Structure 1
Amino acid sequence: MSDERNHQQNQASDGRQPAILLPGVVTALLGLMLAVHLARAFVLNEQGDLQLIYWLAFIPARGIAGAGFDGGWIPLLWTPFTHAFLHAGWEHLLINCAWLAIFGTPVARRYGPRATVILFLASAAVGAAAFAATTLPSVQVLIGASGGVAGLTGAACRFMFQPVIVGRDLETGTEQVLGRRMASIAELMRNQRAAFFIVVWLVLNAAVPFLPMLIGQSIGIAWQAHLGGFLAGLFLTPLFERRPAASEEESK
């Protein structure tokens, strides 16, 4: 929790609010996704855009022997990650950007830029694996940051519903905000707000494949990537957790 605490203490000590409220790593991820989409929309011609998608989108069928793709299975080394920076349109991009800003910010402030990037990319890769497991052997294409963003959402769930912890300096007696404690999975399920958010999120995404039976048309939502990414973030986040500095702690 030290990064989160230092962030809060630095703002309090100088009395200033930053011009950009988003952490640098979140701003960088947003900027990269926006730059890629701008290049596709205004720089690349149709053929160039198709080539970009061909080499950077995640296509699980590449792994099937004799699938007939240029490059064979080799792009599967990077496309489980690079697909997260391609989007189907402006609406797709903006929704993912908004979700990244909302849930990526608390994760970045708590764990720092390196852990945030690792969680984002690892969740995107797990989401891609879930997509592959449910679409093979058909040829389908996965693009979008949804898996990575879902992973940051799962990561934030581990602490954002917990009470704020304050510590008292052993020498001065001054109260210090230490952030929020990470909850175990069992504690999350006992917390009504956390359990409600997690269950609703999982049920809504799991229900997506059944929507065509109700509305009569297919929906281009990679629900598998959402579920896989979310669970990856939920379970991988403890790897980045650090013990708070020694102090007398109490919950508020």
Structure 2
Amino acid sequence: MSFEPLQARRKESALQRTSSGRIGTGSSPFSLRTWKDLALDHSGPGLAMTGLIVAAFVFALFNGGPVAWALSGPLIADGHIHRLFTHMFAHAGLSHLWMNVAGLLALSPIVYAKLGSGIPGWGRYSTLYFAAGLAGAALFLAFNPTSDLPMVGASGAIFGLWGAAARAGPEPEPVPLWSKQVGLAVRDATISNIVLIALLFAISRSGDVQIKLAWEAHLGGFLVGLFLMPHLMQRDDVRLTASAPTSGHP
């Protein structure tokens, strides 16, 4: 009997190729065919969330800037509960926006492919995304309850997608928590935070602006993605590519 999951040899999505600059010969971000491909290969939720984030960034430019959407302990204490959500759509600048959008576009197809299709799949993706973002906000506030330095950005939710992608493999079951794949994801996420902390520290020391990395939000989001993904995965999409021969005996 020969069989394998249909997703065992899943090709890299068009959205991942586009976000990494490898869209291939004959493909262009200005081509309608490219965007049609993106909409059909598990990329819909990532594209939709990217659209919301970019629209919010433009809107904020003309309506008080990202600080008006930012999150901090004192603001929450004053009753600005809505900032638990609005901070996920605000970004400090184009480089901040680009970095988060690149991660969002690369990770979303990997995660969504394991969540099912249609409205239920979109609902599970949204649950994962916002749960990770809220967990990141909660951990940030727990470590910085009285700090006036505001936090903006979707990175908590995006690290949640990173953690979730670590549990997504070719099999219908989630990748085990103590697997090499998860270990590598934890290592890479840790290294990326260390590099960003060092970079932002250097920028802060060389200028007058104070910039800090909200590593707490990254950690909170990553952990939620890591542990919530197995409960959201749909495991009934796997079919046998070849069935066992039937026997003539009873």
TM-score under structure 1 length normalisation: 0.68
TM-score under structure 2 length normalisation: 0.69
Change (3 A) 1:220 1:234: same
Change (3 A) 1:213 1:53: closer
Tell me by how many angstroms 1:87 deviates. Answer: 0.3
Change (3 A) 1:143 1:240: same
Q: Which residue of 2 aligns with 1:61?
A: 74
Tell me by how many angstroms 1:211 deviates. Answer: 7.0
Q: Which residue of 2 aligns with 1:220?
A: 212
In structure 2, how many angstroms separate the alpha carbons of the residues matched to 1:142 and 1:117?
21
In structure 1, how many angstroms separate the alpha carbons of the residues matched to 2:184 and 2:238?
33
Say which structure is richer in strand: 1
Q: Which residue of 1 aligns with 2:53?
A: 33
1:150-169 aligned within 5 A: 150-159=159-168, 162=169, 164-165=170-171
In structure 1, how many angstroms separate the alpha carbons of the residues matched to 2:144 and 2:51?
31
Q: Which residue of 1 aligns with 2:88?
A: 84
Equivalent position to 1:144, from 153, 160, 169:
153
In structure 2, how many angstroms separate the alpha carbons of the residues matched to 1:236 and 1:219?
31
Tell me by how many angstroms 1:80 deviates. Answer: 1.6
Tell me by how many angstroms 1:130 deviates. Answer: 1.1
Change (3 A) 1:182 1:60: same
Amino acid across the alignment from 2:64 = D
Q: State the superposition RMSD in angstroms.
A: 3.1
In structure 2, how many angstroms separate the alpha carbons of the residues matched to 1:213 and 1:87?
19
Check the 8 A contact 1:107/1:155 in 2, yes or no: yes
In structure 1, how many angstroms separate the alpha carbons of the residues matched to 2:45 and 2:149?
31
Percent identical: 29
In structure 2, how many angstroms separate the alpha carbons of the residues matched to 1:238 and 1:86?
29
In structure 2, how many angstroms separate the alpha carbons of the residues matched to 1:204 and 1:17?
30
1:125-144 aligned within 5 A: 125-144=134-153
Mean Cα deviation higher: 210-219 or 98-107: 210-219
Check the 8 A contact 1:83/1:145 in 2, yes or no: yes
Q: Which runs of 5+ in 2 are unaligned?
A: 1-5, 11-32, 116-120, 243-250
In structure 1, how many angstroms separate the alpha carbons of the residues matched to 2:94 and 2:237?
44
Tell me by how many angstroms 1:224 deviates. Answer: 1.1
Equivalent position to 1:200, from 173, 185, 188:
188
Mean Cα deviation higher: 85-94 or 234-243: 234-243
Partner of 1:185: helix, strand, or coil? coil
Change (3 A) 1:107 1:49: same
Check the 8 A contact 1:60/1:140 in 2, yes or no: no
Tell me by how many angstroms 1:109 deviates. Answer: 2.3
Amino acid across the alignment from 2:91 = H
Amino acid across the alignment from 2:71 = F
In structure 2, how many angstroms separate the alpha carbons of the residues matched to 1:17 and 1:53?
35
In structure 2, how many angstroms separate the alpha carbons of the residues matched to 1:225 and 1:83?
11
Aligned residues between the structures = 202
Tell me by how many angstroms 1:235 deviates. Answer: 0.8
Check the 8 A contact 1:33/1:85 in 2, yes or no: yes
Change (3 A) 1:40 1:185: same
Amino acid across the alignment from 2:67 = I
In structure 1, how many angstroms separate the alpha carbons of the residues matched to 2:202 and 2:56?
35
Change (3 A) 1:19 1:227: same
Change (3 A) 1:242 1:40: closer
Change (3 A) 1:30 1:194: same
